[in-house]
Amino acid sequence: MEKIERNAPCWCGSGKKYKVCHAAFDDKLKKYEKEPYPIPTRDIIKNEAQIEGIRASSRINIAVLDYVAEHIRMGMSTAEIDDMVYQKTTELGGIPAPLGYEGFPRSCCVSINSVVCHGIPDDKTFLEDGDIVNVDVSTIYNGYFSDSSRMFLIGNVSEEARRLVDITEQSLQVGLQEVKPWKRLGDMGAAVHDFIRQNGYSVVREIGGHGIGLEFHEEPWVSYVSEKGTEMLLVPGMVFTIEPMVNMGKPDIFIDEEDDWTVCTEDGSLSAQWEITVLVTETGYEILTY
Ligand code: CO
């Protein structure tokens, strides 16, 4: 930790003097340096202006998903969903973060049934009666990033598929109960994992969530199969996603070799995902996107 003179400007960029900004915070953080799990670096701790920027980006992300929710229909192609996301995002002054991200060709991910995540929208895949569909939207606005995804039920969805979607959504609330400053990120992932297993499902291990805000994907990487008391220390000003991928069958996955993106369940079982972006506050958490 680099030492700062008490009257110098704080490292967080708030413009305030260090002594009235993050000095006490740094003293407290120092005590955790000896623990075997990581503490956050300064570059992932957001100041109030940055948080306001991420909130504004998040409002667009939410509005885009609300728009998708209103218009998504059986018989629609996944490319039509993508068009809605692109149109609405740009109309609101944002840029779809996935577009061109590491070569991703579209503005959002659409993942149907046994597709776990990163489904690429196309004009040959249509929403069918009984499908469960994840639409994952991410926005850049004024340089700030936000990210969230929701599940949509198309037509008559089976009771068992509905339950999968429902339990997955509930797992976010279970995880959120563990999001508190000066606790460990692993507590959150452990709570999600326990809840999902108690309900008879499995959680994907290889793909997780991420810090977000100034970049699309920042530290820390976020697991939903972690152990209590492990992983990065949570502190006020951290922003990350909670986005567990929950399989009805086994947790194993594979990536489609044809496009190098689409992630599917190995056993062909259904998979669901909900994603929110959360801020760690002085007292707990604030949900930025849903
Ligand atoms: Co994400």
Opening angle at CA 65, ends 192 and 73, nearest 5: 105
Long-range contacts, 21-26 (Cβ 8 Å, 24+): 25/235, 25/236, 26/1
CATH number assigned to the domain covering 46-289: 3.90.230.10
Contact 267, 252 (CB under 8 A): yes
What is the spatial distance between Cα 218 and Cα 147, in angstroms, rounded to a whole number? Answer: 12
Q: How many whole angstroms from 35 Cα to the centroid of ligand 1?
A: 28
CA of 101 to the centre of ligand 1 (A): 13
Q: How far is the CA of 236 from the centre of ligand 1 (A)?
A: 20
Asked whether 221 and 40 are in contact (CB, 8 A), the reply is no
Residues with a beta carbon under 5 angstroms from ion ligand 1:
147, 241
CA of 104 to the centre of ligand 1 (A): 14
pLDDT along the chain (290 residues), means of 10: 92 98 97 97 98 98 98 98 98 98 98 98 98 99 98 98 98 98 98 98 98 98 98 98 98 98 98 98 97
pTM above 0.95, yes or no: yes
Domain map (residue ranges) of the chain: 46-289
Bridge partners of 246?
203, 272
How far, in Å, is the centroid of ligand 1 from the Cα of 275?
7
